[in-house]
Chains A and B, each alone.
Chain A
Amino acid sequence: MENQVLIETRRLKKYFPVPAGFLHAVDDVNLKINKGETLGIVGESGCGKSTLGRVILRLHEATSGDVLYDGMDINNFSADEMRYMRQNMQIIFQDPYASLNPRMTIGQIIEEPLKLHKIYKSADDRRARVEELMELVGLPMRSYNQYPHEFDGGRRQRVVIARALSINPQFIVCDEPVSALDVSVQAQILNLLMELQKKMGLTYMFISHDLSVVKHISTNIGVMYLGQLIEKAPKNDIFNHPLHPYTIALLSAIPSTNVLQKSKKIILKGEINSPINPKVGCRFATRCPFATEKCTSGNPQFVEAAPDHFVACHRWKEVADGTLKFNM
């Protein structure tokens, strides 16, 4: 059975004008997300994960490139078409404290999108839908008239999820949805998101800097570095056969709870490049122990090194066949 692509980006770019020139927040990103799957996006702070999510949802206008939703190029949609389209796409943010209006009750917050998109005619229908959603995300009915400040982080995030689901979206960008939560509560929300995906066939783009969380929830994983997608593959391929030197270093740096087997860490040297007016060449070259003349003079292409496994590195073949190894 052929997987159906729900989201596709082609040469997607987002440059922010800054006093010193242009900040390349998203630079030439090509990716596909299949229906019902989760694409995890990892990378260090400021590498462009949130901006990518926002540009895909058109919360930011792209500088250039295309975003296709179910084959339709939404960058050319009119405001009206886009409003209709928005029902299919939602975003969940990291901070459940900032994203809820403190003066509205939980019931009102979840109901708001239903009113906005005029999905139900009567208040009774809306109320019934809100109650259905509250049950779905595990909120007790008595919270209907409570206010966000009475809730802890985990329950607030449930409210945020219920609100995002209210208008039956197909695609949800989850931007660090559990990063602000304690681990015990984080597990509650991760389980909820996975359960909802199964039940409703949702498609996620899941942004996080926590690689174990991303591995747990994703189908495919994309690694970003300074605005670019540098590697993307099914999660087990990323973890078992990483091809980009940055991915390899990143994976080795994850602190492990395994006390029987201490893992060796790759300690990177060198400074991180600036995303403002980046020079040609691989953006990781300043920190890459394998960088050569070629790496600083030409941009590596994002190529399919193995089925579904994409990488942008001049020397990926030598990494793949074991010629290049990190000194640990």
Chain B
Amino acid sequence: MENNTVLEVKNLHVHYVTSESAAKAVNGIDFEVKEGESLGLVGETGAGKTTTALAIMQLIPDPPGIIVDGEIYFEGNNVILNTDKENQAMRGNGISMIFQDPMTALNPIMTVGDQLSEVLLTHEKLSKAEAKKRVIDLLEIVGVKSDRYDDYPHQFSGGQKQRVVIAMSLLCNPKLLIADEPTTALDVTIQAQVLEIINNLREKYKMAMILITHDLGVVAETCDKVAIMYAGQIVEAGTVREVYLNPKHPYTRGLFDSIPKLDDDSSELIPIEGAISNAADLPTGCYFHPRCRYCKEICKQQQPPQKGEGHTFMCHFDLFSEEEKEERR
């Protein structure tokens, strides 16, 4: 493993098992994130994005969640083998996570300033006055004025709350920030502000980031690399440029064809037929085969291998290579 690799996930499998069913949420994913790099994790509802993030944070609810297989290396340590204490330390100053709903991260009956100071004080040896100063400085950086230190969360708008949550996640200078749909609930003008803040801070602190979203535009504007998830697998991954300019998996193609393009609204939208499969009842063979317009017999029977280097994809065929396209003509 290269020494500037911050996170490496290998063959991760996570299931949620209840008496009625077993949902296969994550089914063998591999990826890595290097220092200062940002990875966009894209996929539809139920694709396993949050589960992946929770596994890295060692926060999978157990029961019903189980990490069935795989390894997760953070700075060279397999975190699955961590003790509770080691996990707490890791979450304190190694990895931080921004959850989708800012309210779940904030305590409604404590002022914003006190909450942030408290986080700082539990992880670092500081005086109260020093903590307060650090918090005020950080709030200032994310654009919350210092006179809001003594306000309660409900006195903030959605965008401001999200800034507070971002400030909170950065308090202890994490090496890796996992942001789960950090701007989905925000208006586009506010989203642009928040993404700019995240980008600036990332540069300033050389922080690595995993950005979870279903917005391909947000990834294009904030990430270096992208991984497309479908039914708990990464079906395509590579640099944003490679994947966006030359998508190789039919699902990735389908996503791009489904979204209206701003610069070309005459083009017809081509939806992907059907809906994402239930994690408790995944199809045989390629998990995408019931919705795939290129499906052949082999797709129904065998899981496709991972192909490509750097720019990888999971499909029995290389459907969009020049030769293949020629053949279909």
Cβ B187 vs Cβ A45 within 8 A? yes
Cβ B271 vs Cβ A187 within 8 A? yes
Binds B, one of A9-17, A23-31, A211-219: A211-219
Cβ A182 vs Cβ B260 within 8 A? no
Question: How far does the Cβ of B93 sit from chain A's closest Cβ, in whole Å?
Answer: 30
Cβ–Cβ < 8 Å partners of B271 in chain A: 184-188, 191
Interface string of A171-188 (1 = CB under 8 A from B): 000000000001111111
CA distance A44 to B188 in the complex (A): 8
Cβ B260 vs Cβ A255 within 8 A? no
Cβ B269 vs Cβ A259 within 8 A? no
Of B188, B192, B244, B265, the most chain A CB neighbours within 10 A belong to B188
Cβ B258 vs Cβ A265 within 8 A? no
- Whether B275 sits at the interface, judged by CB under 8 Å, is yes
Cβ–Cβ < 8 Å partners of A44 in chain B: 187-190
- Whether B94 sits at the interface, judged by CB under 8 Å, is no
* Cβ 8 A contact of B260, one of A155, A216, A266: A216
**Which residues of A from 223 to 260 have beta carbons under 8 Å from B?**
235, 239, 249-250, 252-260
Cβ–Cβ < 8 Å partners of B192 in chain A: 252-253, 265-267
CA distance A265 to B257 in the complex (A): 25
- Whether A86 sits at the interface, judged by CB under 8 Å, is no
Cβ B240 vs Cβ A259 within 8 A? yes
**Which residues of A from 147 to 189 have beta carbons under 8 Å from B?**
152-155, 182-188
Interface string of B231-256 (1 = CB under 8 A from A): 00000000011001100000000111
CA distance A267 to B192 in the complex (A): 7
* Cβ 8 A contact of A257, one of B158, B196, B259: B259
Cβ A183 vs Cβ B220 within 8 A? no
Cβ B244 vs Cβ A184 within 8 A? no
Cβ A253 vs Cβ B189 within 8 A? yes
- Whether A209 sits at the interface, judged by CB under 8 Å, is yes
Of A184, A187, A213, A262, the most chain B CB neighbours within 10 A belong to A184
- Whether B191 sits at the interface, judged by CB under 8 Å, is yes
- Whether B134 sits at the interface, judged by CB under 8 Å, is no
Cβ–Cβ < 8 Å partners of B244 in chain A: 257, 259
Cβ–Cβ < 8 Å partners of B45 in chain A: 182
Interface string of A197-225 (1 = CB under 8 A from B): 00000000000010111011000000000
Cβ B269 vs Cβ A187 within 8 A? yes
Cβ–Cβ < 8 Å partners of B218 in chain A: 255
- Whether A272 sits at the interface, judged by CB under 8 Å, is yes
Cβ B191 vs Cβ A253 within 8 A? yes
* Cβ 8 A contact of B220, one of A153, A235, A239, A255: A255
Cβ–Cβ < 8 Å partners of B195 in chain A: 255
CA distance A187 to B260 in the complex (A): 8
Given A182-B214, A183-B214, A255-B217, A212-B44 contact (CB < 8 Å) = no
CA distance A152 to B276 in the complex (A): 9
Cβ B245 vs Cβ A259 within 8 A? yes
CA distance A271 to B172 in the complex (A): 28
CA distance A250 to B187 in the complex (A): 9
**Which residues of B from 1 to 54 have beta carbons under 8 Å from A?**
44-45
* Cβ 8 A contact of A209, one of B188, B217, B259, B276: B188
- Whether A268 sits at the interface, judged by CB under 8 Å, is yes
CA distance A213 to B218 in the complex (A): 16
- Whether A190 sits at the interface, judged by CB under 8 Å, is yes
Question: How far does the Cβ of A324 sit from chain B's closest Cβ, in whole Å?
Answer: 18
CA distance A256 to B189 in the complex (A): 14
Cβ A254 vs Cβ B262 within 8 A? yes
* Cβ 8 A contact of A211, one of B188, B190, B258, B275: B188
Cβ–Cβ < 8 Å partners of B269 in chain A: 187, 190-191, 216
Cβ–Cβ < 8 Å partners of A235 in chain B: 265
Cβ B260 vs Cβ A215 within 8 A? yes
Of A249, A253, A266, the most chain B CB neighbours within 10 A belong to A253
Cβ–Cβ < 8 Å partners of B270 in chain A: 187
Cβ–Cβ < 8 Å partners of A187 in chain B: 257-259, 269-272
Question: How far does the Cβ of B235 sit from chain A's closest Cβ, in whole Å?
Answer: 13
- Whether B111 sits at the interface, judged by CB under 8 Å, is no
Cβ B258 vs Cβ A186 within 8 A? yes
- Whether B147 sits at the interface, judged by CB under 8 Å, is no
- Whether B215 sits at the interface, judged by CB under 8 Å, is yes
Cβ A265 vs Cβ B196 within 8 A? yes
Given A45-B187, A182-B44, A184-B254, A256-B220 contact (CB < 8 Å) = yes
- Whether B261 sits at the interface, judged by CB under 8 Å, is yes
CA distance A239 to B157 in the complex (A): 28
Cβ A249 vs Cβ B189 within 8 A? yes
CA distance A252 to B193 in the complex (A): 12
* Cβ 8 A contact of B217, one of A239, A252, A257, A267: A257
Cβ A183 vs Cβ B44 within 8 A? yes
B residues in contact (CB < 8 Å) with A: 44-45, 157-158, 187-193, 195-196, 214-218, 220-221, 240-241, 244-245, 254-263, 265, 268-273, 275-276
Across the A-B interface, give the 3 residue pairs with the lowest CB-CB distance, nearest first: A255-B217, A216-B260, A187-B271
Besides the known contacts A188-B271, A255-B215, 13 further A-B residue pairs in the complex with CB atoms under 8 A apart: A44-B188, A44-B190, A182-B214, A187-B269, A187-B272, A211-B188, A235-B265, A249-B189, A253-B189, A253-B192, A255-B195, A256-B262, A259-B240
A-B contact pairs, 24 of them (CB 8 A): A44-B187, A184-B254, A186-B258, A187-B270, A191-B271, A209-B187, A212-B262, A213-B260, A215-B265, A235-B265, A253-B189, A255-B188, A255-B215, A255-B220, A255-B221, A256-B220, A256-B221, A257-B220, A257-B244, A259-B220, A262-B221, A267-B193, A268-B189, A268-B193
